[in-house]
Amino acid sequence: MKHFRQELWFNTPHRRDYLNITPQVEELVAKSGIRNGLCLVNAMHITASVYINDAEPGLLQDYDAWLQRLAPFNASSDVASGGYRHNATGEDNADAHLKRQVMGREVVVAITDGQLDFGPWEQIYYAEFDGRRRKRVLVKIIGE
């Protein structure tokens, strides 16, 4: 069994951003030399997601609007006015911890014949919900 590990670093310009990281992951799969196995890609921070879906700009806006409806940004810790208890710690990112649960922490992708084994439209995204600082994603591949 072979194993490979590398981090990808991001510093997004906005609080929330959606980055297609498929090319970077493909490069690491090639670099690993692993032909058949599993590739784990996970956010190493708890206010960001890694997910697989469409590279379509309208959909990215739909996701963002929808996540704001399901878990609205609110910097306050006053629950009665829509705030979150977590923000009593002095942070303002409770909503980001919730949004990340909807979109997920990680994806596991099959590696077949040295490639990400994808359907026609699958793309790997890094979804940032509390950006404007350096954060990272882990890529771990095992196989042979």
Give the binding range for a copy of itself (CB under 8 A) out of 8-16, 21-29, 102-110. Answer: 102-110
78 is an interface residue for a copy of itself by CB under 8 A: no
- For residue 20, state whether it binds a copy of itself (rule: CB under 8 A): no
- Cβ proximity of 49 and 135 under 8 Å: no
Taking CA 87 as the corner, what is the angle to CA 84 and CA 96, rounded to the nearest 5 degrees? 75
DSSP output for 43-93: ESSTTEEEEEE---HHHHHHHHHHHHHHS-------GGGT--GGGGGT-S-
Q: Tell which one of 85, 132, 133, 134 touches a copy of itself (CB under 8 A).
A: 85
Nearest-approach distance from CB 55 to a copy of itself, in angstroms: 10
42 binds a copy of itself (CB under 8 A): yes
| Closest C-alpha to 6, from 16, 128, 30 | 30
Are 122 and 56 in contact by the 8 Å Cβ rule? The answer is: no
Size of the site for a copy of itself (CB under 8 A): 61
User: Which of the residues 109 through 138 are near a copy of itself (CB under 8 A)?
Assistant: 109-110, 112, 117-122, 136, 138
Residues that bind a copy of itself (CB under 8 A): 1, 3, 5, 36-38, 40, 42-46, 51-54, 56, 58-59, 61-63, 65-66, 70-71, 77, 79, 84-89, 94, 97-98, 100-110, 112, 117-122, 136, 138, 140, 142-144
